[in-house]
Amino acid sequence: MSVAEAAPRTTSTLVTAERVAELTALIRTTTGETRTTLSPLNGEPVAEVPVSSIDDVDAAFAAARTAQQAWSKTSLRERKKALLRLHDLVLEHQEELLDLIQIESGKSRKNAFDEVAHVALTARYYARRLNKQLKPQRRNGALPLLTSITVTPQPKGVVGLISPWNYPLTMAVSDGIPAIAAGNAIVHKPDSQSPLIALAGIELMRKAGFPADLWQVVSGAGSVVGTAIIERADYICFTGSTATGKLIAQQAAARLVSCSLELGGKNPMIVLSSADIDKAAAGAVEACFSSAGQLCVSIERLYVPEDRFEEFKTAFVSRVQHLALGAALDWDADLGSLVSQSQLETVTAHVKDAVANGATVLAGGKARPDLGPYFYEPTVLEGVTESAECFAGETFGPLVSLYPYKTTEEAIALANQGEYGLNASLWGKPREAKAIATRIKAGTVNINEGFAATFGSVDAPMGGMRQSGLGRRQGAEGILRYTEPQSIGVQRLMPMTGPSALQARTWAKLLTLGLKVLRRTPRA
């Protein structure tokens, strides 16, 4: 692996005490307690972050409910203007945002930019489509001409948002944008590893014109603050592990509160016989190692035809071996760091276990403490057996396994193995790949792309099947999840039970005749 040269800029010179104070002032807290966050790039302290109490969560919800009552009465035109201002502000402030993403998550700058672009795309998308997605819709009434029905999406109220460390800007702000746009307020717990970048995004929301109390932030342990949010919210949006998602689903169900959960994945990529091998190999590198593999939709399983296996392996491994690792806050590195000691231990254990069970390391396979405390080389394995932990278990790191297959039917069966169903990738002629795509059990399937075609298309819903989650972000589904459809019916001229002068039996006969007539009317 090559190493990108270190830049002179450091976390201590970029994230000043004054800037930390400005951002952490957005956290609702009265405890006086703080915790220290460290940068995965170099292990240096980044910030002293205030810790919130249960009382602070209560205060956050009280303020959010008051703000939501006023905000829900604002016009869609006003909300649209604020969203477009947010779009512009995110792009204008991208240098600081990129620095904070790198400092707190450890990822490369080019992968950090994906988050900035996604937030801007999301803000513009919902601004342009608010009127269409939230306008009241006319529906067919029970009695033609006499009954009219209007369905209006009403905001849920206060949304509880619990966002992850791996995409700390976009999984916070992009999930919150449609909630606010739909007329809700938010109480948000950013991940403890990466609060500053989430706070920077929320600061831009306020600068864009969204009311200050509309987006409340609390900080602390998920078992304390996160649980308190779940116990109080009118809707819950969570991105994280399947195990935690199941617990949240149980807690939400006990309160009859809805939730959307994007959870784990063990995402497959199938290289078809018709694929351009060089393009497939290059695409696989991005699909597997973006954000050092710490991406819910990244690829961890690669299936290649037996007769093209060696050709693909050679092309893929060569590209992986030339990836540049680096901790600098610049554009030179292809990969950054893992986020924590825990993630490093997981990747290390998965590689060691796979090798012990017969796998061969084709590239990478070791930590790089010379670059930073949690760096690990992008790693390719061959011959991974079912007894290996990484065969079916999610690694969530820079590790991918190669497998040959004999027939397309076998490849589809292999791709559908396991309990997850978040994302999949197919490489080959589009017509052939499209026919296969509908047979893959995954919420998103990308053809001649790893994940960006669906992730970047914010008009398309995104989420998981099976153990990979509930609900969808993006698209109309992404905003309507934060609403309750309210049906308003107007009855004219006579009641549904018929004119008072008619006996019930006579009215039933007339209705029967009417139903028979309507049955012969194509549009009724």
Q: How far apart, in whole angstroms, are the C-alpha atoms of residue 328 and residue 6?
A: 5
Q: Which of 296, 300, 390, 394 is catalytic?
A: 296
> In degrees rounded to 5, what are phi and psi of residue 182?
-80, -5
CB neighbours of 285 closer than 8 A, spacing ≥ 6?
Answer: 316, 319, 320, 323
Residues in CB range of 37: below 8 A, 6 or more apart: 45, 46, 47, 49, 104, 192, 193, 194, 195, 196
Query: What residues are paired with 304 via a beta bridge?
Result: 404
The contacts of residue 1 (CB under 8 Å, 6+ apart) are 321, 322, 323, 324, 325, 364, 368, 377, 378
For the chain, helix, strand, coil in percent to 5 are 45, 20, 35
Strand runs (DSSP E) across 117-234, as ranges?
A: 137-139, 147-155, 158-162, 185-189, 215-217
Told to judge if 22 belongs to the known catalytic residues of this protein, a careful annotator would answer: no
Whether the Cβ atoms of residue 391 and residue 401 lie closer than 8 Å to each other? yes
Q: Distance between CA atoms of 416 and 434, rounded to whole angstroms?
A: 16
Return the residue matching tokens 């029905």: 149
Question: By the 8 A CB rule, do 468 and 264 touch?
Answer: yes
- Angstrom distance (rounded) from CA 276 to CA 283: 11
Q: Looking at 104, 262, 286, 394, which residue is catalytic?
A: 262
Beta strand extents in 341-464 (DSSP E only): 360-363, 379-382, 399-405, 423-427, 444-447
- Residue 146, helix vs strand vs coil: coil
Q: Confirm whether 288 is a catalytic residue.
A: no
HSE-CB for 5 with a 13 A CA cutoff: 2
Q: How many Å separate Cα 298 from the centre of its chain?
A: 12
- Report the half-sphere exposure of 153 (CA within 13 A, side-chain side): 22
Active site residues: 262, 296
